[in-house]
Amino acid sequence: MPKKVKSIVITGNGTNCEMEMAHACRLAGSDVVDIVHISMLLYGEKSLDDYHFLNLPGGFLDGDDLGSAKAGANRILHAKVKGKSENLYDQFARFIKQGKLILGVCNGFQLLVKLGMLPGFDGNYRNQTTTLTFNDSGRFEDRWVNLRVNPDSPCIFTKKVTGIYLPVRHGEGKFVTKDKDILERLHKDHQVVVEYCYEDFKDATMDYPANPNGAIDGIAGICNETGRIFGLMPHPEAYLHRTNHPRWTREKLPEEGMGLAVFKNAIDFVRKGDI
């Protein structure tokens, strides 16, 4: 009998895309979709242990006052769960160890890299080696971009996807690494999942505005070594239906938006898997 898939979308303290992300999970076929305020996790009213697919949506955690998602990462790393002898991070670590799926979009991606969960080399999910910093343009970028998908990536979320067109909305989306060795390993291990490109979906670009933030090597999203944790700056939950497309009244488009494939791949994986 197929597994009943349970998805959780964490909200609170500045997130603003939780409704769209939850809708994407429902459209993709998740049997249970709960939008849960992070305080409910901290007070022990909800637990990540009860879910298969964790979604970290976009927004501005804590106003990005210490840098994008940094305060949110500190909260997860150090805040105790009421009535338990564990930090919230321990639930995240258990979630990863059990092979469950995590998707972080925009601010959610920033959160994953600040926590050290991406790229998570050698199973170390607490060592920050990359970051997302201020756009080269010096301003908030709100535009649609083309993304080349790495066919050799182990990423669960992008299977059978070759190119994708999605919107970005961020002021700190420039992906950089701590040193050259980390960047080289990301490429060598195919953990670079999506890269900014032109309409032909071929080569990654550093050219603005196709690359809206100046991300090194055009990197728009990465995964961990298993492909079960995926973070990206563009918003797949913002293109679920043809009417989300900026030219939907002028072009003949498929009914289903390109972003939905990311969620369908996740739900299908959980339903067929052993997690």
Q: Which of 20, 25, 237, 245 is catalytic?
A: 237
| Active-site residue flag, 237 | yes
Find the catalytic residue in 25, 106, 155, 223. Answer: 106
> How far, in Å, CA of 180 to CA of 192, rounded?
14
Strand order in the sheet with 6-11: 32-37, 6-11, 53-56, 101-105, 229-232, 219-223, 192-197, 141-149, 163-170
Q: Is 17 a catalytic residue?
A: no
Q: Kind of pairing, strands 6-11 and 101-105?
A: unpaired
Q: How far apart are CA 204 and CA 207, in angstroms?
A: 9
42 in Cβ contact with 88 (< 8 Å): yes
DSSP string, 96-157: HHTT-EEEEETHHHHHHHHHT-SS-GGG--S---EEEE--TTSS-EEEEEEEEE-TT---GG
37 is catalytic: no
Sign of CA dihedral 194, 199, 204, 209: negative
Pair 67, 23: CB distance under 8 Å = no
Catalytic residue among 20, 25, 223, 235: 235
Residues catalogued as catalytic: 106, 235, 237
